[in-house]
Amino acid sequence: MSSDNHDGGDSNLPDLGDAIDIVTFSQILEMDDSEDDREFSQSIVFGFFEQAEETFEKMDEALEAKNLDELSKLGHFLKGSSATLGLTKVKDSCEKIQRYGKKENEDGTPETDEELCLSRVTETMKSLRTEYSEAETTLRKFFNTPAV
C-alpha cells in the first residue's frame, strides 16, 4: 500500500518541501482514509485557507487602526493553525507579528516605539502573504484543485 500511489502523490509531494514541513503535514495526511480519499486533510487545509484569508483581512484592518494588540492576537491565532499544518514560514511570520504586536522585538525584549512595531508588522505581513500564497499554491496543487 505504501509502495503504489494511485493518485500521483509522489509527483506532488516534492513540491511541498520548502514551504511545508512534511513531517507535520503528513500527520494530517495520515488521518485520511486513504490516499485516494483525502477528504479529511483537504477539508482541513481548505478550512485553513479560509481562516487565513479572513485573518489577513482583519490584520489589514487592525493595521489601519494601528491596533497592535489586535494584531498580536491575530498573529497568535493564525500561528496555531499554520503550525499545526506544518506551514513553517507562515507560522514564523505570524509569530513575529504576534511579538511586534505585543511591542516586543523579535527576541522578546520590549520595544517602546509603537511606530517601529507597526512598521515591522507591515513588513512582516508582506512576507507573510508571499509565504502564504506560496504554500497555498503548493497545497492546491497537491490536492489537484488549482485556485480559480
**Residue numbers of the site for another protein (CB under 8 A)?**
1-5, 9-10, 12-14, 22-24, 26-31, 33-35, 39-40, 43-44, 47-48, 51, 73, 76-77, 79-81, 83-86, 91, 95
- Those residues whose C-beta lies under 8 Å from the C-beta of residue 137, and which sit 6 or more positions away, are 147
Distance CA(87)–CA(92), nearest Å, equals 9
CB of residue 65 to another protein, shortest distance in Å: 19
Matching residue, cell 491575530: 74
CB of residue 41 to another protein, shortest distance in Å: 9
User: Based on CB atoms, which residue is closest to another protein, 35 or 134?
Assistant: 35
CB of residue 1 to another protein, shortest distance in Å: 6
CB of residue 38 to another protein, shortest distance in Å: 10
User: Based on CB atoms, which residue is closest to another protein, 109 or 115?
Assistant: 109
User: Based on CB atoms, which residue is closest to another protein, 51 or 127?
Assistant: 51
Distance CA(64)–CA(112), nearest Å, equals 19
User: Based on CB atoms, which residue is closest to another protein, 17 or 126?
Assistant: 17
Could you write out the DSSP letters of every residue in 82-129?
HHHHT-HHHHHHHHHHHHHHTTB-TTS-B---HHHHHHHHHHHHHHHH
Distance CA(139)–CA(13), nearest Å, equals 9
